[in-house]
């Protein structure tokens, strides 16, 4: 599988990353999914301390222990579980980040994290303090690089201006083109990579199409609009290939994107996603069709 450089780092990530939140808590099944990913050439594994109250990090660390020096482990911080485990609160403070990283390292069974990401963030956060935490962890050798997971343009701009982040993780798909106008060009200009999630838009951009469609639609698409657009796109772009291939290739066609992260609850799903990433690139004509029939959405919220 092809790899792309992650920002200005020396990390080269596979064009497909495994979103580990979906692997479940059954150890045997989870490890089988991760081993299949390795067989398919995936080297980028994305988890978070939030997932399954840390159990996800434990599974990921155990599955990757023997190949630790050959893979890139990305995890996230900022969501702090309440003592009674009934939910979590947001804590981007330097003190918390520097304490939480120790717990993640222990659960992952490693002495360094390749990519440590802030798991959200708002413009009201103590951003300078948060950046200082990441910079110190990098200087201490506990993390190699850092990034953020955010869809808030104002927050992203602050980190671009003030920090040395190498990546931003964000939702992006044919139905969610919000990053295209004000975020992707900015990140490309500054040599910061995008890691995308949600490329198949909750299954709408797969061959299942409208099977799981909500009556409320998706983002700023009404259900009626989806019923009109999706079959049309499938007919024009995916008559001879799975629709999900087109969806993943749409993400990878943007020069700011380094890797597209997809979840998988079975080895077969991993293989299908890997095949999609290896499939034929979209032509300029196909990209033009997509942009003609989908909305150039912009961020109205999340400011």
Is 187 in contact with 214 (CB distance < 8 Å)? Answer: no
Average pLDDT over residues 169-189: 96
- Residues marked as catalytic: 51
How confident is the model at residue 51, as a pLDDT? Answer: 80
- Name every residue whose Cβ is closer than 8 Å to that of residue 206 and which is 6 or more positions away in sequence: 200, 242, 243, 244, 247
Closest to 262 in 3D by CA, of 208, 197, 212: 197
Report percent pLDDT > 90 for the chain.
90
Cα-based angle 98, 104, 105 (whole degrees, multiple of 5): 90
Q: What is the mean pLDDT of residues 261-280?
A: 97
Would you state the torsion angle of the CA atoms of residues 44, 49, 53, 58, taken in this order, to the nearest 10 degrees?
50
CA distances from 66 to 11, 62, 113, 253 (A): 19, 8, 16, 33
* pLDDT of 150 higher than 70: yes
Closest CA to 252 of 146, 170, 145, 173: 173
Q: Band of the pLDDT at 85, cuts 50, 70, 90?
A: confident
Q: What angle do CA 131, 133, 139 make, to 5 degrees?
A: 105
- Whole-number pLDDT of residue 81: 78
Residue-averaged pLDDT of the chain:
95
Distances (CA, A) of 173 to 88, 129, 206, 243: 28, 32, 12, 12
- Taking the C-alpha atoms of residue 214 and residue 242, their distance in angstroms, rounded to an integer, is 22
CB count in 10 Å sphere of residue 286: 18
Partners of 148 in the β-ladder: 118, 168
What domains does the chain contain, in order, with CATH numbers?
3-202+245-281 (3.20.20.100)
Write phi, then psi, for 90 (nearest 5 degrees).
-90, 125
CA pair distance 13, 19, nearest whole angstrom = 13
Predicted confidence (pLDDT) per residue in 15-71, tens digit: 999 999 999 999 999 999 999 999 999 999 999 998 887 899 999 999 999 999 999
- pLDDT, position 12: 98
pLDDT greater than 80 at residue 164: yes
Q: Say how far apart CA 93 and CA 90 lie, in whole Å.
A: 9
User: What pLDDT digit, counting tens, does each position of 181-228 carry?
Assistant: 999 999 999 999 999 999 999 999 999 999 989 999 999 999 999 999
pLDDT exceeds cutoff 80 at 303: no
Q: For residue 103, which of 139, 67, 50 has the smallest C-alpha distance?
A: 50
Task: Please give the angle made by the CA atoms of 158, 162 and 168, to the nearest 5 degrees.
Answer: 60
Q: Measure the CA dihedral 53/58/64/65, to 10°.
A: 150
Residue 302: pLDDT band (50, 70, 90) is: low
Q: Is the pLDDT of residue 272 over 80?
A: yes
């Amino acid at each position: 599988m092809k790899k792309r450089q992650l920002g200005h780092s020396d990390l080269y990530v596979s064009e497909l990353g495994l979103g580990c939140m979906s692997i479940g808590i059954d150890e045997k099944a989870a490890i089988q999914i991760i081993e299949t990913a390795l067989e398919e050439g995936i080297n980028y594994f994305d988890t978070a301390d939030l997932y399954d109250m840390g159990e996800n990090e434990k599974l990921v660390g155990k599955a990757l222990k023997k190949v630790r020096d050959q893979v890139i482990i990305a995890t996230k911080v900022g969501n702090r579980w309440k003592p009674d485990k009934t939910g979590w609160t947001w804590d981007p403070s330097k003190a918390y980040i520097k304490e939480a990283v120790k717990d993640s390292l222990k659960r992952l069974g490693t002495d360094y994290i390749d990519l440590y990401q802030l798991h959200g963030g708002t413009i009201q956060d103590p951003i300078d303090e948060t950046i200082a935490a990441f910079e110190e962890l990098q200087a201490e050798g506990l993390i190699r690089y850092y990034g953020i997971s955010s869809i808030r343009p104002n927050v992203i701009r602050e980190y671009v201006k003030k920090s040395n982040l190498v990546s931003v993780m964000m939702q992006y798909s044919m139905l969610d083109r919000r990053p295209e106008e004000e975020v992707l060009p900015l990140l490309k200009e500054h040599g910061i990579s995008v890691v995308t999630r949600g490329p198949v838009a909750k299954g709408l951009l797969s061959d299942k199409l409208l099977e799981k469609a909500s009556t409320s639609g998706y983002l700023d698409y009404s259900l009626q609009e989806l019923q009109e657009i999706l079959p049309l796109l499938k007919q024009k772009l995916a008559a001879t290939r799975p629709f999900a291939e087109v969806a993943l290739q749409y993400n990878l066609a943007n020069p700011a994107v380094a890797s597209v992260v997809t979840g998988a609850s079975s080895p077969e799903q991993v293989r299908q996603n890997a095949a999609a990433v290896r499939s034929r690139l979209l032509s300029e004509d196909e990209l033009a069709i997509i942009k003609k029939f989908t909305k150039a959405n912009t961020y109205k919220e999340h400011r």
